[in-house]
Amino acid sequence: MNNTISSFVVGIAIIIAAWVVGQNLNHTTQVTTSNQNSISVNGDGQVFAKPDTFILQVAAEEKTKTTEEGFAAVAKKIGAIQNLMKANGITEKDIQSINIGINPSYNYDNGKSTIDGFIATHGLRIKIRKLDSIDTILA
């Protein structure tokens, strides 16, 4: 009998503690009719912090007659951007190539499509750690 009362008191304490904690959270609860033994809880949170990095994504794109010309043209543009970033104190580890590709460009005429060149693309993802240099870099 003593164990039954103790179990009952502990159970009530757990329920009260869960209710108190639940009152301090932004939450939703859903009990489905197909399974009455199921509870689903969703919540959200927000974190506020001062930013310490700026992520800049740029891309070069060039339409040319051949794939070789396309890659050479975007490589020249990307090289100029990389040199600009390095001149503004961005280290090489913070410059990452992304979205490199080449696709045919089509000309549609009277229901027929013909390849009239190629579109080469090359992107960069740049992490800027010195936030006071963002305006200079973007200008």
Along the chain (139 residues), what's the average pLDDT of each consecutive run of 10 residues? 61 65 53 57 80 91 94 95 93 94 93 92 94 87
Task: Give residue 70's pLDDT.
Answer: 94
Do you know the residue count of the chain?
139
Dist. CA 139–CA 126, nearest whole Å = 15
Residue 39's domain comprises 2-43
CB 98 within 8 A of CB 69: no
C-alpha closest to that of 61 among 126, 116, 115, 123? 123
Domain containing residue 100: CATH number? 3.30.70.2970
Residues 109 and 58 reside in one and the same domain: yes
Residues 21 and 58 reside in one and the same domain: no
Tell me the pTM: 0.60
CA atoms in the 13 A half-sphere facing the CB of 24? 5
On whether residue 14 sits in a domain, the answer given is yes
